[in-house]
Amino acid sequence: MKILKIDGGRKLNGTVKISGAKNSAVALFPAAILCDENVHILNVPNISDIDSLNSILKYLNAKVEKKSQDSFYIASCNIENKEITEDMTRKLRASYYFMGALLGKYKKAEVSFPGGCTIGSRPIDLHLKGFESLGAKVEQKGNKVIITADELIGSNIYLDIASVGATINIMLAAVKAKGVTIIDNAAREPEVVNIAMFLNSMGAKITGAGTNTIKIKGVQYLKSCTHEVIPDRIEAATYIMIGALLSENLTVENIIPEHLEALIQKLLEMGVDLKIDDDKIYVTNKNKLKATKVTTLVYPGFPTDMQQIIATLMTQATGESKIEETIFENRFQNLYELRKMGANIKVVSNKGYIKGPTKLKSEDITATDLRAGAGLVIAALIAEGETTINNADYILRGYENIVEKLEKLGAKIKLIEI
Ligand code: UD1
């Protein structure tokens, strides 16, 4: 296990460059399998989830070559379509994208159920129903799913929930199917658009990504392309909130402000001093923060991935803030850890009530999942004295060089393996 030790209470100033988006990169790497030549992916974040995906790609005999610090060539021409077992899939949620990608290319996928953060039950029934609509047979044997098809044929698919994972997985399966697939009530997240653009650069015919209705006209061959991962809006949000609490001047650069609209509106409502430029945001903590209310929603609503992070900000705002989590049922574990640090928090089913401001004290706390961990890093940066965050492995799954980035801003932070 890795632990983070953070000696908090310091001002953090300077510039931080945001890396490529985890949730986009983790779909692009499995999607690379669909290419009949090779792909070059740029702006790839250096995070452990990418290492896990690369191990799976190499196990399948794909050629994965690191071309620079943040770019990879992937050649999938000689892939062996083998079973991907639980020891590989449980490391991350995004391992489910091998189902859509292998099915799309070889009409067969044998993949165990995915792992990932324990933030709720997280079924994948919509992914599997989508594959069935395309003509595949889905069998579950123990913890693995065997998906086979003689032929994949485009169809009309309505998603009961606008799921990011299901939308992307169905796109992967449908891109080479015969005829036209229409996904209705599709997820509109920027990561979905980034994957659709990647496939289109290879020669796919996908329209409507970023709207509720995505249309995919199947093609037979996908050619080489170069594609860039979009900036990580959740990492950006994390550093912007650090700035709102601890900076006289912090520049968060390499961002797409439009992807952060819901957060920006909330921060302005809370009184955060922000200046927005084309691809950067300047933030300081010069104003007192006011309490606010957040309800998580699908994009372009307030992202569930940011609620555990804004919770820490709320502990420093005057008045009672409220978070209503509508996407995942178990995403408040961070609130119990914040309470240990002195925060005044009440949890009632899917609602968290946070009264502030309260001084946070250093503690021995635990990251229960990736974004809980990010919220706790911020709490540790505010608290006077040394805080220990156990299970920091979760945080490294999604934050590139977090120790180096925070040190550069002036934090006192150490990563220790025990
Ligand atoms: C992705 C992100 C995650 C983010 C989430 C919501 C990745 C690797 N992870 O997760 O960081 O928090 O989107 O923005 O990109 N659902 C079903 N059946 C399904 C699929 C989903 O009931 O087959 C439900 C889920 O339980 C959840 C909701 O739909 O309540 C949304 O889930 P979804 O958008 O699929 O999230 P993930 O793809 O798991």
CA 305 to ligand 1: nearest atom = 12
CA 119 to ligand 1: nearest atom = 12
127 and 142 assigned to the same domain:
yes
pLDDT tens by residue, 293-327: 999 999 999 999 999 999 999 999 999 999 999 99
242 and 221 assigned to the same domain:
no
CA 298 to ligand 1: nearest atom = 14
Is 161's C-beta closer than 6 angstroms to any atom of ligand 1? yes
Q: How many domains does the chain have?
A: 2
Q: How far apart are the first and last CA of the chain?
A: 6
Read off the pLDDT band of 349 (50, 70, 90).
Answer: very high
CA 327 to ligand 1: nearest atom = 30
Is 23's C-beta closer than 6 angstroms to any atom of ligand 1? yes
Predicted local confidence at residue 122, as pLDDT: 84
Output the residue whose Cα is nearest ligand 1's atom 20: 124
Predicted local confidence at residue 96, as pLDDT: 96
CATH of the domain at 319: 3.65.10.10
13 and 124 assigned to the same domain:
no
CB of 229 closer than 8 Å to CB of 194: yes
38 and 76 assigned to the same domain:
yes
Is 123's C-beta closer than 6 angstroms to any atom of ligand 1? yes
Judge whether residue 120 has pLDDT over 80.
Answer: no
Read off the pLDDT band of 375 (50, 70, 90).
Answer: very high
Q: Around 119, how many Cα atoms within 13 Å sit in the side-chain half-sphere? A: 22
261 and 300 assigned to the same domain:
yes
Coil, strand, or helix at residue 391? coil
Output the residue whose Cα is nearest ligand 1's atom 2: 23
Read off the pLDDT band of 330 (50, 70, 90).
Answer: confident
Buried-exposed string 132-170: b where 16+ CB fall within 10 A, e elsewhere: ebbbbebeeeeebbebebeebbbbebebeebbbbbbbbb
- Please give the angle made by the CA atoms of 341, 381 and 321, to the nearest 5 degrees: 55
410 and 268 assigned to the same domain:
yes
Read off the pLDDT band of 380 (50, 70, 90).
Answer: very high
Is 120's C-beta closer than 6 angstroms to any atom of ligand 1? yes
**Mean predicted confidence (pLDDT) in 383-412:** 96
Domain boundary among 228, 253, 283: 228
Q: How far is the CA of 75 from the centre of ligand 1 (A)?
A: 29
262 and 119 assigned to the same domain:
no
Judge whether residue 44 has pLDDT over 90.
Answer: yes
Structural domain of 318: 2-19+231-417
Is 125's C-beta closer than 6 angstroms to any atom of ligand 1? yes
CB of 227 closer than 8 Å to CB of 31: no
In the sheet with 137-141, reading across from the earlier edge strand, the strands are: 108-112, 144-148, 137-141
Q: How far is the CA of 165 from the centre of ligand 1 (A)?
A: 6
CA 122 to ligand 1: nearest atom = 26
**Mean predicted confidence (pLDDT) in 56-69:** 96
247 and 389 assigned to the same domain:
yes
Q: Around 235, how many Cα atoms within 13 Å sit in the side-chain half-sphere? A: 30
The DSSP H or E segment spanning 274 is: strand 273-276
- Pairwise CA distance, residues 176 & 31, whole Å: 12
Q: Where do runs of H (alpha helix) occur along 20-124?
A: 22-31, 48-59, 86-89, 97-106
Q: How far is the CA of 163 from the centre of ligand 1 (A)?
A: 5
78 and 99 assigned to the same domain:
yes
CA 167 to ligand 1: nearest atom = 35
Q: How far is the CA of 161 from the centre of ligand 1 (A)?
A: 9
Residue 94 burial (C-beta neighbours within 10 Å; 0-12, 13-18, 19+): buried
Predicted local confidence at residue 415, as pLDDT: 97
Is 367's C-beta closer than 6 angstroms to any atom of ligand 1? no
61 and 206 assigned to the same domain:
yes
CA 125 to ligand 1: nearest atom = 23
Domain boundary among 196, 228, 260: 228
Predicted local confidence at residue 26, as pLDDT: 97
Can 117 be counted among the known catalytic residues?
yes
Output the residue whose Cα is nearest ligand 1's atom 31: 163
Is 160's C-beta closer than 6 angstroms to any atom of ligand 1? no
Domain boundary among 201, 228, 255: 228
pLDDT tens by residue, 257-289: 999 999 999 999 999 999 999 999 999 998 899
357 and 404 assigned to the same domain:
yes
Residue 158, both tokens: 């309505």
Residue in 35, 77, 117, 225 annotated catalytic = 117
Q: How far is the CA of 331 from the centre of ligand 1 (A)?
A: 13
**Residue 144: phi, psi to the nearest 5?**
-115, 155
351 and 391 assigned to the same domain:
yes
CB of 410 closer than 8 Å to CB of 5: no
Output the residue whose Cα is nearest ligand 1's atom 9: 23
Predicted local confidence at residue 138, as pLDDT: 97
327, 332, 370, 399: which to mutate for ligand 1, most atoms within 8 A of CB?
A: 327
Output the residue whose Cα is nearest ligand 1's atom 19: 124
Q: How far is the CA of 304 from the centre of ligand 1 (A)?
A: 10
Is 165's C-beta closer than 6 angstroms to any atom of ligand 1? yes
Q: How far is the CA of 122 from the centre of ligand 1 (A)?
A: 7
**Mean predicted confidence (pLDDT) in 331-339:** 96
Is 329's C-beta closer than 6 angstroms to any atom of ligand 1? no
